[in-house]
Amino acid sequence: MTAPKTIRWGILATGAIAVTFTKDLLVDPKTRGVNHIKHTVVAAASSSSKSRAEQFLKDTGCPSDAKAYGSYEELVKDPNIDMVYIATPHSHHYQNAMFCLEAGKNVLCEKAFTVNAAQAKALAMKAQEKNLFLMEAVWTRYFPLSVYVRDLITSGRIGPVARVLADNSMALNPEESFNDGKHRMVNPDLAGGALLDLGIYSLTWVFQTLYHTQPESTRQPPKVLAALKSYGPTKAADEASTIVLNFPRSPEAGGDAHAVATTSLRVATAPAGNGDAPGIRIQGPNGEIQVFPPAFRPTRTKLILRDGTVEEKNWSQPGPGGGSGWYNGFAGGRNAEGEGHGMFWEADEAATALVEGRKEGKYEGLAESILIMEVMDEVRRQGGLSYPEKIETTKYPVQL
């Protein structure tokens, strides 16, 4: 066996998800049965100060020789970085990702990939021109749970999928939680709203079950009908979006398939907060697959067939384990001691692609990321939601 190859990461931004991702990244891949690669963090950058980057390196447990930068410019110039993980608000992804690609860096960029499809296309073209790896960090796609669900579908257990219902909703009380209107969930300057932040996961489930599972040669873009409710106080971000999609398929493949993708800041997928409602239902003539909330980090599935078969599964998030004193979680939330958050699987895939010389993610290539951005563009068009020109533009560079 050849020695594992180590991928050297640079972390661009020091916010909540950057912390969660970086902690997961530093978990030994062997704990999840991955032996061919390793990850290390060689630098992190904050746009506000070097001391913030230093604090970030400490909080996440990065190697003591990792560099702290007080600007993104310094980070992209660091010759020791193989891949940059971008964790700024989605309003900034286009400018930040273009900046990294121009500097010759491979990129894993948080969701939503960009503000619109035109930006996503421009990034894909730049990556191709520079022969660099570029992937949207839709971590859920890389969960073993997602692989299992897609395998259930392609193996025909429930028959051709006829309908998918997918919800990702939060019950956040936005007026109270985001009362100054500055939070990225409601702030138009940060491409705020439910659709780009949460609805992306409803669409992820729809696309990975109805689109990605089809042979590449037969995949066709869906038709889209949308209702969008704008958020009262800012009037320029959506508090809820509901999307009906029709996926064309040949009669042999089961004919057209329908999906309903929903998202809301105000109501919950599971009202009791305990994952009691299957937020995702994938239905075929022989039965259905249920995935329990949250849609972005599910840990439970249920296969129910018409012949009476019921298969329930729990999916663990491996980490250093109980007694390790190590904790991860998102934005103040805390998982059980030693339990990972599930972000390492996408990192493993990005690293594996680098080792293999691939330029795109295995379970969602750039064409699919672009198509999903096109669907969200169409939802916003039908719902009358646009963002400030400086964050919708494909012009580069623009100072945000």
Ligand X SMILES: *[C@@H]1O[C@H](CO)[C@@H](O)[C@H](O)[C@H]1NC(C)=O
Ligand Y SMILES: NC(=O)c1ccc[n+]([C@@H]2O[C@H](COP(=O)([O-])OP(=O)(O)OC[C@H]3O[C@@H](n4cnc5c(N)ncnc54)[C@H](OP(=O)(O)O)[C@@H]3O)[C@@H](O)[C@H]2O)c1
- Using CB under 6 A as the criterion, which residues of the chain lie in contact with ligand X when the complex forms? 312-314
| 46 lies in the site for ligand Y, by CB under 6 A | yes
Largest CA distance in the chain: 61
DSSP element (H, E) containing 73 = helix 72-77
Of all residues in the shown chain, the one whose CB is closest to ligand Y is: 15
- What residues numbered 104-133 form the site for ligand Y, per CB under 6 A? 110-111
Vertex 117 angle, CA 258 and 24, to 5°: 85
CB of 202 or CB of 283, closer to ligand Y: 202
Q: Which of 48, 154, 173, 177 binds ligand Y (CB under 6 A)?
A: 48
CB of 69 or CB of 292, closer to ligand X: 292
Q: Is 309 left (phi over 0), alpha (psi -120 to 50) or beta?
A: beta
CB of 190 to ligand Y, least distance (A): 6
CB of 139 or CB of 344, closer to ligand Y: 139
| 258 lies in the site for ligand Y, by CB under 6 A | no
CB of 342 to ligand X, least distance (A): 16
Select the binding partner of residue 314 from ligand X, ligand Y, none (C-beta < 5 to 8 A, by kind). Answer: ligand X
CB of 111 to ligand Y, least distance (A): 6
Amino acid (one-letter) located at 78: D
| 146 lies in the site for ligand Y, by CB under 6 A | no
Amino acid (one-letter) located at 68: A
- Token pair of 388 as six digits: 């400030």
Select the binding partner of residue 312 from ligand Y, ligand X, none (C-beta < 5 to 8 A, by kind). Answer: ligand X
Pairing state of beta strands 238-247 and 257-264? antiparallel
| 234 lies in the site for ligand Y, by CB under 6 A | no
- What residues numbered 287-306 form the site for ligand Y, per CB under 6 A? 296
Q: Which of 9, 10, 14, 26 binds ligand Y (CB under 6 A)?
A: 14
- Token pair of 172 as six digits: 């956040």
Which residues, in sequence order, are CB contacts of 109 under 8 Å at separation 6+?
Answer: 85, 86, 93, 96, 97, 123, 134, 135, 136, 137
| 69 lies in the site for ligand Y, by CB under 6 A | no
Which residues of the chain form beta strands (DSSP E)? Answer: 5-12, 37-45, 67-69, 83-86, 106-110, 134-137, 163-169, 223-230, 238-247, 257-264, 280-284, 287-291, 300-305, 310-314
Q: Which of 23, 26, 47, 186 binds ligand Y (CB under 6 A)?
A: 47
- Token pair of 347 as six digits: 């990192």
Question: In a 10 Å sphere around its CB, with 0-12 CB exposed, 13-18 middle and 19+ buried, how is residue 250 labelled?
Answer: exposed
| 187 lies in the site for ligand Y, by CB under 6 A | no
Q: Which of 7, 10, 17, 192 binds ligand Y (CB under 6 A)?
A: 17
Select the binding partner of residue 283 from ligand X, ligand Y, none (C-beta < 5 to 8 A, by kind). Answer: none
CB of 64 or CB of 274, closer to ligand X: 274
CB of 5 or CB of 313, closer to ligand X: 313
Q: How far apart are alpha carbons 367 and 351 in whole angstroms?
A: 20
| 360 lies in the site for ligand Y, by CB under 6 A | no
Select the binding partner of residue 46 from ligand Y, ligand X, none (C-beta < 5 to 8 A, by kind). Answer: ligand Y
| 92 lies in the site for ligand Y, by CB under 6 A | yes
Q: How many of the chain's residues bind ligand Y (CB under 6 A)?
A: 22
Q: How far apart are alpha carbons 161 and 357 in whole angstroms?
A: 34
User: Which phi and psi (to 5°) does residue 246 adopt?
Assistant: -120, 115
Q: Which of 7, 9, 10, 13 binds ligand Y (CB under 6 A)?
A: 13
Segment near ligand Y (CB under 6 A); pick from 42-50, 63-71, 278-286, 359-367: 42-50
| 32 lies in the site for ligand Y, by CB under 6 A | no
Chain-centre distance for alpha carbon 42: 23
Which three-class secondary structure state does DSSP give residue 313? strand
Closest to 164 (Cα-Cα) out of 245, 91, 230, 99: 245
- Token pair of 179 as six digits: 């009362």
Select the binding partner of residue 17 from ligand Y, ligand X, none (C-beta < 5 to 8 A, by kind). Answer: ligand Y
| 202 lies in the site for ligand Y, by CB under 6 A | no
Q: Which parts of this chain interact with ligand Y (CB under 6 A)?
A: 13-18, 46-48, 52, 87-90, 92, 110-111, 137, 139, 184, 197, 296
